[in-house]
Amino acid sequence: MNPTISMVMLLSLATGTIITMTSYHWLLAWVGLEINTLSIIPIISTTHHPRSTEAATKYFLTQAAASALILFSSMVNAWETGTWDITQLSSMPSHVLLTAALAMKLGLVPMHFWLPEVLQGSTLMTALIITTWQKLAPMTLIYLTINSLSTTILLLMGLTST
Predicted confidence (pLDDT) per residue in 95-153, tens digit: 999 999 999 999 999 899 999 999 999 999 999 999 999 999 999 999 999 998 999 99
Q: What is the pLDDT of residue 48?
A: 85
The residues spanned by each domain of the chain are 3-160
Q: How far apart are CA 150 and CA 14, in angstroms?
A: 29
Name, in order, each residue with C-beta under 8 angstroms of 97's C-beta and a sequence gap of 6 or more: 69, 70, 72, 73, 76
Distance CA 66, CA 98 (A): 9
In the structure, what pLDDT confidence band is assigned to residue 10 with cuts at 50, 70 and 90? very high
pLDDT of residue 85: 93
Closest among 92, 110, 100, 111 to 141, alpha carbons compared: 100
pTM tops 0.75, yes or no: yes
Average pLDDT of the segment spanning 27-54 = 94
Query: Over pLDDT 70: what percentage of the chain?
Result: 100
33: enclosing H helix or E strand: helix 26-44
Using alpha carbons, select from 76, 74, 55 the residue that is nearest to residue 144: 74
Measured distance CA(157)–CA(13) in Å, rounded: 26
Quote the pLDDT of residue 91.
87
Counting Cβ atoms within 10 Å, is residue 81 exposed (0-12), middle (13-18) or buried (19+)?
middle
The whole-number pLDDT of residue 47 equals: 86
**pLDDT given for residue 18 in this prediction:** 97
